[in-house]
Amino acid sequence: MRRKSFLFVNRKAPYGAGRAAEALEAALVAASLGQEVHLAYLDDGVFQLLAGQEPARLGRRDFTASLQELGEYDIDHVWVDGQSLRERGLTPADLLVAATLLDRAAMAELMAGMDVVVSI
């Protein structure tokens, strides 16, 4: 299969109308098929990265476990919108992954440069 750059855009909080686990699942499959995978978190999507989540309290599988093992899937690109974090009173220290903070202009350039953008 040809290798393309994929950006998975996450803009929603987990659990409520949550698609967090499914978006991550798709990204992991893309990576396992040798694609160049990028994950972007903006707006309420940054809540997906919050440390200390306990999905078991809602009887849900813990998708954050996979988030902490992205390196094993060769996913090195995790991008977070800095403004979204700040508006929610969060700092990078509150997150469960090492993510690169981007400002809006940089995030926009990233998006524009991808082969495929997937929203889930």
Partner 1 sequence: MGPLHTVNKSPFAGPALDSCLGHLTEGAALLLIEDGVYAAVADSAAAAKLAMAAGRYAIYALGPDLAARGLGKASLLDGIMVIDYLGFVDLAVRHSTVQAWL
Partner 2 sequence: MKFAILVNEDPFGHQAAQSALSFAQAVLASGHELVRVFFYMGGVYNANRLASPPMEDRNIVREWAELAAKDGVDLVICIAAGVARGVREANLAPGFRISGIGQLVEAAVIADRLITFGA
**Binding-site ranges for partner 1 (CB under 8 A):** 9, 11-17, 42-44, 47, 50-55, 57-58, 60, 87-89, 104, 107-109, 111-112, 114-117, 119-120
59 near partner 2 (CB under 8 A): yes
What is the Cα–Cα distance from 82 to 73, expressed in whole angstroms?
A: 25
Residue 26: contacted member of partner 2, partner 1, none (CB under 5 to 8 Å, by partner type): partner 2
From the list 10, 11, 19, 53, which residue makes contact with partner 2 (rule: CB under 8 A)?
19
- Nearest distance from residue 80's CB to partner 1, in Å? 14
Beta bridge partners of 37: 6
Cβ-Cβ contacts under 8 Å for 61 (sequence gap 6 or more)? 21, 55
- Nearest distance from residue 11's CB to partner 2, in Å? 11
Distances (CA, A) of 12 to 16, 44, 47, 92, 107: 9, 5, 8, 18, 17
